[in-house]
Chains A and B, each alone.
Chain A
């Protein structure tokens, strides 16, 4: 490697400084919110809580976890993410495998049929009215079914399947496996990486999606945590919520009187983000791969 000139060194110093600033800016908002969620609400209002809690407390979290409706919303989110990701991956993988078979009659037309949907859509209102006509308002399944098959994911699956050695399938066929048998016993077990990548993105979508339930679901017991959180943040329902808490929590609240709307929303936000933070470090290598697979297709 050639020696760095003074100019190069100055450039590097600027780059290090800029990147460090960016890293700080990316991390601080989240860190600060976490700190506020662990700080006494009343104390936070006085200002000056930045990098570390001043009056450490778990009271905010205790109230969040004692609120049956928030816990319920959290469970709905978990259920939706699990069911939506599993069913979506299964449906998309089966579809994609069928589309890899060269003898499939109509394959070309089917492909065009799929690709058209990537460029054109009916938009918000016609889809909204369709869901209404299908009677899916206020149903858990409205969060799962309309997103079941993604053409994008289908194409990524298909590309991956086509890259598998063809000899494997043929030998399984000779041994008497049906097409479905080949898919479930040979192809899918070999597709670990692509399943992991696509599952990750699908799961993140399901966990984070607040908009679908917000327009299709009015039954508060069916709302996932993100939509619930949006309502809380949006209209300061929190103050109302505090008065509606069950009596045990209400008693505790009166005794403590240290939580505020803000400290409670921050704690709820942390709870709603926790699952993502937990899986994030483990799946980093997968999503980098996934983005590249996706962009190659583009």
Chain B
């Protein structure tokens, strides 16, 4: 059937063009999306499928399709490995510390910034505190190393000036300081930037609520915690769920860069750095993929669980 016939039939309301014809007729729009879809197929879906190599003895020479299947061998090896519990402990501890300290910090900052009436002061603090977010982790690790250095490191100089220590401490080579350094650098880098969403949420709170509370004699502190905070709770819950979904990420780049000293391995090895070290540096691809898949499964579980909890308590919260 010729195109003109179809058009005529369509005008008469007799015939809708068939799927393939319609598809071909909108080739120009399809051409806009198909390259993008192919891109995702190659760079997202193929690696997703490639995760199956966790159940193989993958070798570079045999390739994905030639390597033998070995079932759960690598998972069993991972769970039985002597470093397994160290890695799990570090991942959990570092993640929890970051959640407990790193999550509320920007909320507190936003609450405090909201109390400031002087515009210049407020803008200055905002501008300065957003900046670290835009620095790369390489730069941040360099700044940390410089501040904590034993040669002209500002922290050591300050502690010595205050007579708290006699000799400079080499903070970055002592395991007992490592977790604190990680959490502080993480908060330092992200506190300002993360506060932006909370500030925006606070700006949307009805000012009448504050006025009414003030008439009733509520202090500013009381208003912060009894009006502002509950008003932005929905936003906080959404970000908490996301944070829990990301819990096991534990700050891959940060750890990789700050823990170059092998002395720190006992406290610094987390799932992500372990996968990197075993997979990329030692080329044990299947084993590392198994460890990575284990982490991904737990992350999805955490995300789903957090979401369920939020939904269940949903009505009582707001």
Contact = CB atoms under 8 A, between A and B. Distances in A.
A10 to B, nearest CB: 9
B174 interface: no
A47 B151 contact: yes
Contacts of B260: 234-235
Given A207-B136, A230-B257, A292 B200 contact: yes
Interface stretch (A23-31, A66-74, A246-254): A23-31
A30 B40 contact: no
A142 to B, nearest CB: 11
Interface residues of A, number: 96
A23 B125 contact: yes
Contacts of B292: 123-125
Interface stretch (A57-65, A92-100, A191-199): A92-100
A23 B211 CA distance: 30
Contact of B128 (A27, A101, A122, A298): A27
A262 B149 contact: yes
A284 interface: yes
B235 to A, nearest CB: 8
Given A47-B157, A128-B279, A280-B134, A154 B50 contact: no
B43 A146 contact: yes
Main DSSP-derived SS at the A contact region: helix
Contacts of B192: 26
Given A5-B219, A110-B33, A124 B275 contact: yes
A124 B154 contact: no
Nearest to A119: B300
Contacts of B131: 26-27, 30, 280
A23 B127 CA distance: 9
A98 B285 contact: no
Nearest to B22: A105
B22 to A, nearest CB: 6
Given A104-B29, A295-B197, A233 B145 contact: yes
A136 to B, nearest CB: 11
Interface in A140-195: 146, 148-149, 151, 154, 178-180, 183
A86 B102 CA distance: 34
Interface of B is mostly: helix
Nearest to B198: A295
B147 interface: yes
Given A32-B154, A124-B279, A98 B149 contact: no
A217 interface: no
A266 B143 CA distance: 8
B136 A149 contact: no
Contacts of A36: 146, 152
B26 A126 contact: no
A180 B157 CA distance: 62
Interface string B43-77: 11111111101000010000010000000000000
Nearest to B64: A129
Contact of B32 (A50, A95, A291): A95
B39 interface: yes
Contacts of A19: 112-113, 116, 121, 125
A22 to B, nearest CB: 6
A265 interface: yes
Contact of A125 (B219, B256, B289): B289
A149 B125 CA distance: 34
Interface string B205-245: 00000010011000111000000000000000010001000
Given A11-B219, A11-B221, A292-B197, A121 B48 contact: yes
Given A8-B220, A15-B115, A125-B279, A130 B135 contact: no
Given A104-B29, A117-B40, A32 B146 contact: yes
Contacts of B151: 44-45, 47, 262
A33 B45 CA distance: 43
Given A98-B33, A151-B40, 8 more contacts: A15-B115, A26-B192, A103-B26, A110-B37, A120-B296, A122-B50, A123-B296, A272-B138
6 contacts: A113-B37, A123-B292, A148-B39, A183-B32, A234-B257, A295-B200
Interface of A: 2, 4-5, 7-8, 11-12, 15-16, 18-20, 22-23, 25-30, 32-33, 36, 44-50, 91-92, 94-95, 97-99, 101, 103-105, 110, 113-114, 117, 119-130, 146, 148-149, 151, 154, 178-180, 183, 204, 207-211, 215, 226-227, 229-230, 233-235, 262, 265-266, 269, 272-273, 276, 280-281, 284, 287-288, 291-292, 295, 298
